[in-house]
Structure formats: structure tokens, C-alpha cells
Structure 1
Amino acid sequence: MLHIYYGYGKGKTTCAVGIAMRAAGSDRKVLFSQFLKGNDSGERRSMELIPNITLTPCPDHVKFVRDMTDEEKLQCRQHCRNTFEYCAKEALVGKYNMVIFDEIFIAIENNMLSESELFDFLANAPKNIEIVLTGHNPSEKILKLADYCTEMRKVAHPYDRGISARKGIEF
């Protein structure tokens, strides 16, 4: 089934990590990929310790797209493409019971991936795997495919008061 967690509220990655942990604890194999994120998050360090979770590589540090140089955007785009292509291929061979694309909608929103590629993947993905997508702003076309769909809506966030992301809480 297809799970979508989206919006501008906190908790999308947390949901994806939670379902990955639940699946791994039930002896399912999980492939967890992250887009526009670095290796420096607490969730990655925790998931590395779980035998049934495989993480795709991330750069050591990733800037916000608005702060990237053209060269950094090009490198980031290539990393996103490589990660997506690898995960799509792995999903098709049936090695995993669950494939997670964390922040894929943000990669699409920033032209790092195309929505048509994601749509084609979803249309052709094996029916016996769980697919989890997160990010800000999925299209109605993608939302209509979801079996589970949760929108995270920000009511309050410390960032609005000038407080930066805190290690162990936001990453």
C-alpha cells in the first residue's frame, strides 16, 4: 500500500521512521532513503543499528536549496537521481517489503526529481510492498493514489520565533 505523510508541520520523517521501526521489528526488510538531508541526523544513527533497515547514503551535510550554489544544486540533483533510481530498482527485484522516500516531495518541488518519474514508479511498483512518501506539497495526482494519507499542519513551531533546528529534536 502507499502511505503519504505531507505538509508543513513537524512529524513527517518521524512517522516514516516509526513505520520503518515497526516493520523491521516484525521481521520485514526496509529500504530507507532520504532526499535533501545529510548524514548528521539522530534518526539515521538510530536506524543504522536496526538489522532489517537499510539506509541509502546521504552527503555528510546538505544546505537548504536556497543557499546552494549552482554547482551544489547540480551535485544534489545527481545524488537525488541516483538514490531514486537505486531504490526503484531495488523495489522491483523484491528484496524489500517496504521502501521509504523521505522528503521526496521536497526534491520534486526543487526540481531535483520529476513527479512523472515518481508517478511511473508508483504505477509499476510491486503490489506486495509498502511504499512511504514524505515531504511538503504532493500533487493531487499523487495524493489520489494513497491508501494512507496524513497531512501535518503546523500550528506552532519554534522556527517562527527564530529558534534554529535542534539536534535530537528536529534532526
Structure 2
Amino acid sequence: MIQVYTGNGKGKSTAAFGMALRALGAGQRVYIAQFVKNMRYSECFIEDYFQDRLKIEQWGASCLLNREATDEDYAMAERGLDRCATLLRNREGEMYDLIILDELNIALYMKLLPLEKVLDALKSIDGDREVIITGRYAPSELLALADLVTDMQEVKHYYQKGVLSRKGFDC
């Protein structure tokens, strides 16, 4: 199954990590690829507690908020997609029950990855793997391929009151 969490509201990655926690609680193995991220946010530290069943890898060169993408950004995203495509096809060796492609939609929106290559990787899923894709701006082709789509809409956010990201809750 392919799930997509998109929209302008908060909680897309949070929901995906909640599913990861649920899968880990059920004894499953989880792989999380974080695209366009390169800092160890609080969620990355849970890997220390589930070393044998959880792997988190980041596929971003550095923050892209206020700059143009570089060759390194494109190369990192491409390597991340290649890694994920391999894991999606694996029937032996390194296998995961849940594969999360965190902020993949942002990587697509920023044109760091070709949409066709992403769709081909997703169409090659072998076995009963669950895949969750997060990020704003999910392309319509990805929504059409998905089995479940959640569009998170912002109604109210404490950031509008000047509250910045809080460690353990937002970052």
C-alpha cells in the first residue's frame, strides 16, 4: 500500500513517524529516508532505541530554504532515491515492512528528482511493504498511484502567535 500525507497543515511527518512507532511496536522493521534534510532532528534519536529494526537516513546536502539547489543537493537526492528503489524491490537481505519517504514531495517540487523515476520506483514495490510519502505539493500523478491520500490543512497554528519550533514537539 502507498500512503501520501500532503497539504499545507502541520503533521505530515509527525503522522508518518507515528505509523513507524506503531509498526515497531508490532515487531516490524522500518526504514525512513528523509529527503532535503541533513540535521538530526529529535525523531532521529529514536533509532538508538530500535537499532535492529529501525534505520533512518538523510538525503539532503544542507538546508534549501534560502538558496538555490546545488549539484550536491541533486546528487544526494538521487542517491537517496536509488537506495529507496533498491529497498522497495528487495526480497532478500535488507528488508523493511514500512518504508517512509519523508519530504519526498518537496524534493519533487524543487525538481531535485524526476517524477517518472520516483513513480517507476513505487510501481516496482515487491511484497507487502507499506510506503508512506510526506510533504507539501504532492503531484497529481503520485496521488493517482496512492492507495490512501491525506490532505492536511492548516486551520490554526501557534507559529502565527510567534511561537517558534519547540524541541521534542516540532523539531
TM-score range, shorter chain: 0.7 to 0.9
Match of 2:71 among 74, 84, 93: 74
Question: For the aligned residues, what is the CA RMSD?
Answer: 1.9
Residue of structure 2 equivalent to 1:88: 85
How much does 1:55 deviate? 1.1
CA–CA distance in structure 1, aligned partners of residues 114 and 159 of structure 2: 29
**Other structure's SS at 1:14 match:** helix
After the TM superposition, which parts of structure 1 deviate over 4 Å for at least 4 consecutive aligned residues? Answer: none
Specify every segment of 5 or more residues in structure 1 that has no aligned partner in the other structure, as ranges: none
Contact 2:102 2:133 (C-alpha < 8 Å) held by counterparts? yes
Runs of 5+ consecutive residues of structure 2 not aligned to the other structure: none
Is the 1:48–1:54 Cα contact (8 Å) retained in structure 2? no
Please give the TM-score of this superposition, normalised by the length of structure 2: 0.88
Distance 2:165 2:100 in 1: 23
Q: Provide Cα deviations, 1:66-120, integer angstroms capped at 9, x if missing partner.
A: 42355xx322221111111111112211311111100000011011111111111
Paired AA for residue 31 in structure 1 = Y
Output the TM-score relative to the length of structure 1. Answer: 0.88
Partners in 2 of 1:67 and 1:130 — Cα distance? 34
Alignment match, 1:120: 120
Aligned-residue offset at 1:158: 3.1
Instruction: Quote the sequence identity (%).
Output: 28
Aligned residues: 167
Measure how far apart 1:161 and its partner are.
4.2
Counterpart of 1:24, as a letter, is L
